[in-house]
Amino acid sequence: DAGVTQSPTHLIKTRGQHVTLRCSPISGHKSVSWYQQVLGQGPQFIFQYYEKEERGRGNFPDRFSARQFPNYSSELNVNALLLGDSALYLCASSLRRTTDTQYFGPGTRLTVL
């Protein structure tokens, strides 16, 4: 079975621009979570979506938004990019909504210039 997939792999944007990152979960998984990982730190939780509804939100500004589609794939949107948004953005999928094992995709490396 295919694992979690993410696109694009790499992305370069300039300050003030907008970006959309995409994620497809493992087949049968209904929960998608997004994490931001800055160099030298552990991943930080941004959002969780389960059955197309937001189920959790981390301490990120409103410039960050996400949604989940009927096929359980998900998009993460970031508006008005700042230099500090440069990071590895990780998508993780799981079968259940709570305290479940999460499997990560390969990530999208975002560079903001």
The residues of the shown chain that bind another protein, judged by CB under 8 A, are: 31, 33, 35, 40-45, 48, 50, 55-56, 58, 88, 90, 92, 94, 96-107
Shortest gap between Cβ of 97 and another protein (angstroms)? 6
71 contact partners, CB below 8 Å, separation of at least 6: none
- In the bound state with another protein, the residue whose beta carbon lies nearer, of 8 and 16, is 8
- In the bound state with another protein, the residue whose beta carbon lies nearer, of 74 and 102, is 102
- In the bound state with another protein, the residue whose beta carbon lies nearer, of 17 and 53, is 53
**Closest-CA residue to 86 (of 17, 13, 35):** 13
- In the bound state with another protein, the residue whose beta carbon lies nearer, of 13 and 30, is 30
94 contact partners, CB below 8 Å, separation of at least 6: 29, 31, 33, 100, 101, 102, 103
Shortest gap between Cβ of 102 and another protein (angstroms)? 6
